[in-house]
Amino acid sequence: MPPRICFILPCYEEEKALSHTLPRIKEKYTSLVEKKLISPESRILFVDDGSQDNTWKILSAASEKDPIILALKLSRNYGHQNALLAGITEAYHLDFDATITMDADLQDDMDALDEFIKKYLEGYQVVYGVRSDRSTDSFFKRETALAFYNMMRFFQVPLVYNHADYRLLGRPAVEALLAFPERNLFLRGIIPLLGFPSTEVFYKRQERIAGHTKYPLKKMIAFALNGITSFSIQPIRLITFGGFVVSLMSIGILFYALFQKMAGKTVSGWTSVIFSLWFLGGLVLLSLGVIGEYIGRIYLEVKSRPRFFIEQKKGKNFHEKTSSH
């Protein structure tokens, strides 16, 4: 019996892309069923992450017309990672054998799906979609992505290089993922921590079919910061190290100042005083900032707020009800 797969596509203001994505994924679904790679009980689950445009209208109409389409509406915009988690949680409750998450803008090439499922059938519980190249990216996106991976490596966050959120998770991996209680989810960092047999499938990342990216620079920076602070205490260690080095330096400066005083040249010490004042002031502020960042995270985690609320569910598998996680 082929596996029951749940394809999960988070959508934030994707009305333009959906007219391309809907027919494409349905066509792919049919071909996978015909090849007996997936069960006809597989479903395509769209998660509307609080869009203001016609996304929900399109999705709910599609789910009424087509029994293979399920639609989930979150009560507001919770961000890509939480939208993915909402979809994965729902798929888990609906007892699917595996989930495959992908962008709703056709950037994650669907022709790679056959390979994903074959790997799953071979026994892999985690299959990462890895981009074979970045030629469809703008120069800016390419460079910032490279800086992102380098920084993550520097801060010792375990990431699969050139892998975003195009991935398959078998049920045991989904169950493990749902055991992570953190509010601020960074899926790319958590999945490698789960263990389980995992492998990679290479695909060529396409250009966005329509609409524009929902990851402007501001969100990219927030994403990277979240990745670092939720996985690594390296920045705090660096501060400790920096503090140690500066303290050693200040002993040197103390001797230098004493020497200058004995030589009767105190006034000329003004330069070094003003320099160390600014240097240390800067260092202290920076350190406070980094520590503050972590305390802020602790504050957010400790509150343990729900990660998303579901406003509506549409589709044959769903009973209409509201729930939260």
Q: Which position among 100, 104, 126, 168 is part of the footprint of ligand UDP (CB under 6 A)?
A: 104
Q: Choose between 22 and 194: whose C-beta lies nearer to Mg ion.
A: 22
Residue 138 near ligand UDP by CB under 6 A? no
Residue 17 near residue 208 (C-beta atoms within 8 A): yes
Per-residue binder mask for ligand UDP (CB under 6 A), 192-231, x = binder: ---------------------xxx----------------
Edge-to-edge order in the sheet of strand 98-101: 198-203, 126-131, 163-170, 98-101, 5-11, 43-48, 69-74, 309-314, 323-324
Residue 203 near residue 162 (C-beta atoms within 8 A): no
Residue 67 near residue 316 (C-beta atoms within 8 A): yes
Question: Given the rule CB under 6 A, which of 79-87, 148-156, 188-196, 253-261 is the region that contacts ligand UDP?
Answer: 79-87
Q: Which position among 55, 60, 81, 107 is part of the footprint of Mg ion (CB under 5 A)?
A: 107
Per-residue exposure over 95-105, b if at least 16 CB sit within 10 Å of its own CB, e if not: ebbbbbbbbbb
Q: Which residues 6+ apart lie within 8 Å of 175 measured at CB?
A: 92
Residue 103 near ligand UDP by CB under 6 A? yes
**Centroid of chain to Cα 322:** 25
Q: Choose between 124 and 203: whose C-beta lies nearer to ligand UDP.
A: 203
Q: Which residues 6+ apart lie within 8 Å of 251 measured at CB?
A: none
Q: Choose between 119 and 208: whose C-beta lies nearer to ligand UDP.
A: 208
Q: Which position among 15, 103, 165, 200 is part of the footprint of Mg ion (CB under 5 A)?
A: 103
Determine the Cα angle at 51 with ends 305 and 168, to 5°: 70
Q: Which position among 4, 5, 6, 14 is part of the footprint of ligand UDP (CB under 6 A)?
A: 14
Q: Which position among 31, 77, 199, 234 is part of the footprint of ligand UDP (CB under 6 A)?
A: 77
Residue 10 near ligand UDP by CB under 6 A? yes
CA distances, 260 to each of 46, 247, 267 (Å): 72, 20, 9
Least distance CB 115 / ligand UDP (angstroms):
21
Q: Which residues bind ligand UDP (CB under 6 A)?
A: 10-12, 14, 49, 77, 79-80, 83, 103-105, 107, 213-215
